[in-house]
Amino acid sequence: PKMDGITFLKKVMAVLPTPTVIVSSLTSRGSALALEALEAGAVDVVAKPGSDVASALPAMMRELVARVRSAARSKVFRRVATEAPGCEEAAAALGVTTDAVIGLGASTGGVAALGRILPRFPANSPGVVVVQHMPPGFTSGFAERLDELCPMRVSEAKDGDRILRGHVLVGPGGDRHLEVRRVGGEYRIALVEGPHVSGHTPSVDVFFQSLARSAGPNAAACLLTGMGRDGAEGLKALRAAGGRTFAQDEASSAVWGMPGAAVGIGAAEAVVDLADVPCALLRALERRTGLVARLGEAGGPSAKAHTESGAKGETQ
């Protein structure tokens, strides 16, 4: 009584963490409340029909049943504050080159996971691109919320966006896949219409495979918590192309489906705890570009100069 749903959810999660699926409208208020619930520990969200409810309701109920069944197999954690590992030195060394891309793919439990790790990337980190399975209409608010929390600048990705150091781009939910393409000396986003791949649009497999083609050894990626196998084959392709590849470990994953599938086919070079993901990715790229970093220290542009041109201030 006299308690809204979000407050109730937070109290339940603090005492008895319970897998929870949110049913939300696509209004701005509904989307904001759904995101707050996901941040509080809910594992998934299902969008209410926006129009023609009578014909759309059966499909929504089938999706809800599937999501609840998936949620029942997930793990929910009490939210505990932890000390963030220091990654500033690795990010500073990478500041002498913009020729690097970090990729993150996630599904069930991913909103909470991304909310934990993205704020740990220093402001001068290489450009980060995220594909998180979410209904259309939710990713814009998710990006805005992350922008408030992160040292890096966060926005929803648009077709043609340039991937810049100090920026995080979140792939929009809906009917378009996100690809990374090299245009001259730049990496840019391409949003491409197409059918589901690995059961999803946007698909993490499509995203990681594009990283393999366009960036190869200049990319590092991690497959985070999620149901199913989306992203496993793409991560394997990236590893074969010389990229650095990681998977979230089972203990810290809400659902060890996607990362577990990647480990099972040898797509991940290492399995890491969620809290260690930012440093693992940055240090992997630092080692890959170590020669460039040393040349920069010897006489090239300083990391500080690059930092001042990026991080919540650089324009596209």
- Cite the active site residues: 107, 133, 230
Whole-number CA gyration radius for the chain: 19
CB of 231 closer than 8 Å to CB of 104: no
Q: Which long-range contacts (CB under 8 A, 24 or more apart) does 12-15 make?
A: 13/40, 13/41, 13/76, 13/78, 13/79, 14/78, 14/79
CB 145 within 8 A of CB 111: no
Q: Are strands 176-183 and 186-193 parallel, antiparallel or unpaired?
A: antiparallel
Tell me the C-alpha distance between 308 and 166, whole Å: 10
Residue 265 near residue 300 (C-beta atoms within 8 A): no
Q: Which two tokens mark 241? A: 């192309």
Query: In the numeric block, which tokens belong to residue 21?
Result: 């699926």
Give the span between the Cα atoms of 249 and 263, in whole angstroms: 9
CB 316 within 8 A of CB 164: yes
State both tokens at 201: 């649009």
Q: Are 37 and 20 in contact (CB under 8 A)?
A: yes
CB neighbour list of residue 30: distance below 8 Å, 6 or more residues apart? 24, 48
CA distances from 63 to 42, 56, 66, 83, 150 (A): 16, 11, 5, 38, 32
**Helix orientation angle between 277-288 and 290-298, rounded to the nearest 10 degrees:** 70
Q: Residue 158: what residue type?
A: K
